[in-house]
Structure 1
């Protein structure tokens, strides 16, 4: 066990080194940072994996700096969570949900620490950089004798204001994306190592709990009341609404995949149609409505 811990620690060190100092390859290596912890946890349990995590934090600080600790902690804890649940033969959807929650907690804690102790708000700085770039582009257009359209500037401000309000939703989406990609790149390697990984349940059988419909109805009722922009209540209702809409879109796609399977529609057509819908916002809205109807009236039982 000590020998394997040393091997996994060395593997983590190499991946962490690549992620820090090699630009393009580093982005790919980042998604494999949890892999050593997944493998070690599945073989020896999460108790010993926590010792490996402590050692990896020390190594990450030696390779990078104190600022490298949050990344090592985030991918380490997520890897231990994935490994511990896979070891217990939990459903991959459960593993995805739990690991996304771990990623989300790490991201929120890192964001709070960066504001409180380092006085650095990454989100606000990103907005400032984007505004400066936009203003520079506008100045270049004026220099070329073209007057920038006022409507374009208004749309930019509205877009930035929307992004600012849905920042919590973006955090959740980023956490799920990190968890999903981590699992996707890790599963083939775990399979080659003959570790028990289970299988993804068919997407067509995915069903949300019906209780979400009541939450959605409650959010719609609350949104009828005048809420002051920027307040906690406004942000909470705004973000819960968007998250529920995204969940109902997933439910709608699951229903369409179920129908396609029943009608023997080829997988190529189903995948192509799904990708096409992702680029057409009005179709996504219709699919969300379809998901709500499917969840409320159990359309699948009528097919």
Structure 2
């Protein structure tokens, strides 16, 4: 066990070095940071995996700095959770949800620490960069003899304001993307190592709890009440609304995949239609409505 811990720690150190100092390859290597913790947790136990995590935090501090410590903690805790649940043959969707929650907690904690103690607000800096890029583009348009419309500037400011308000939703999306990407790159390697990883249930069988319909109805009712922008109630309603919309889009796609399977529609058409919908926002809105109808009236039983 000690020998394997040393091997996994060395693997983590190499991946961490690459993620820190190799520009393009580092973006890929960072997704594999959880892999050593998954392997070690599946072969041993949580207690020994936590000791490996402590050692990895020390190594990450020596390789980088204290600022790199949150990255090691984030992927280490997620790897331990994923490995432990895979060893217990838990559902892939449950593993995805649990790991996404762990990523989300780490993201929120890191953001709070960066704002409170390091005086560095990543969201504000990103919005400032967007604003500077927009102003540069406007100057280029004026230099070419084109006058930017006032409506265009107002729409841009409204977009920046919306991004600021839906930051919690963006954090949730980022957490799920990180969790899914981490599992997607690690599970094939775990299979090659003959470790039990289970399989993904068919996406066409995925359904949300019907209680989300009542949550959505409640949010719609509250949205008719005039709320002051920037208040906690306004932010809560806005973010819950967008999160529910995303969930209903997933439900809608799941129903379409179910219907396509029943009608023997070729997979190429289904995948092509999915990609097309992702680039056409109004189609996503229709798919969200379809997801709501499927969840409320159980359209699958009518096919």
Q: Residue deviations 1:249-285, cap 9 Å, x none? A: 1001000100000001111111111111111111111
Q: Cα distance, 1:109 vs. partner? A: 0.2
Q: Secondary structure at the match of 2:164?
A: helix
Provide TM-score, normalisation by structure 2: 0.98
Aligned to 1:163: 163
Aligned to 1:119: 119
Superposed counterparts of 1:79-98, under 5 Å: 79-98=79-98
Separation in 1 of the partners of 2:132 and 2:163? 17
- In the alignment, structure 1 residue 286 sits paired with structure 2 residue 286: yes
- In the alignment, structure 1 residue 246 sits paired with structure 2 residue 239: no
Q: Cα distance, 1:116 vs. partner? A: 0.7
Q: Over aligned residue pairs, what C-alpha RMSD do you find?
A: 0.8
Superposed counterparts of 1:219-234, under 5 Å: 219-234=219-234
- In the alignment, structure 1 residue 149 sits paired with structure 2 residue 149: yes
Q: Residue deviations 1:217-248, cap 9 Å, x none? A: 11111111111110000000000000001100
Q: Cα distance, 1:133 vs. partner? A: 2.0
Which deviates further from its counterpart, 151-160 or 48-57?
151-160
Aligned to 2:47: 47
Separation in 2 of the partners of 1:144 and 1:218? 50
Separation in 2 of the partners of 1:142 and 1:213? 49
Q: Residue deviations 1:89-110, cap 9 Å, x none? A: 0000000000000000000000
| Runs of 4+ deviating beyond 6 Å | none
- For structure 2, the 5+ residue unaligned runs are none
Provide TM-score, normalisation by structure 1: 0.98
Q: Cα distance, 1:70 vs. partner? A: 0.4
Separation in 1 of the partners of 2:193 and 2:71? 26
- In the alignment, structure 1 residue 78 sits paired with structure 2 residue 78: yes
Aligned to 1:60: 60
Q: Cα distance, 1:158 vs. partner? A: 1.0
